[in-house]
Amino acid sequence: MSEFEGQVGARIRSIIERVENVEAEIKELNEGKKEIFAEAKADGFDTKVLKEIIKMRKEEKAERDERDALLDLYMRAIEGAEVQSKAA
């Protein structure tokens, strides 16, 4: 094996090992997240709602406002359709 191949092989191994280390860290972090949600659930909190709040906090305010406006519009349209179908 040439010196070049040895250097390339070492670089490839380094990249793979770094990715494996990050994957291990992600696994640990996900376990930590599960523990936090289990603790919240034990304290009586609704974890589904907590996850939704976390998701919302990641969004930009403008995106949230647009989604909320569309949600409101769609809900009013559904309610309007229900009133019309009952009247008919």
- Is the distance from CB of 50 to CB of 40 less than 8 angstroms? yes
DSSP assignment letter at 44: T
pLDDT of res. 6: 86
- Higher pLDDT: 83 or 17? It is 17
Residue 58 pLDDT exceeds 90: yes
- Is the distance from CB of 75 to CB of 81 less than 8 angstroms? no
pLDDT digits (tens, 9 = 90+) for 9-51: 999 999 999 999 999 999 999 999 999 999 999 999 999 999 9
The domain locations on the chain are: 1-45, 46-88
* pTM passes above 0.85: no
Q: What CA–CA distance (Å, rounded) separates 13 from 30?
A: 26
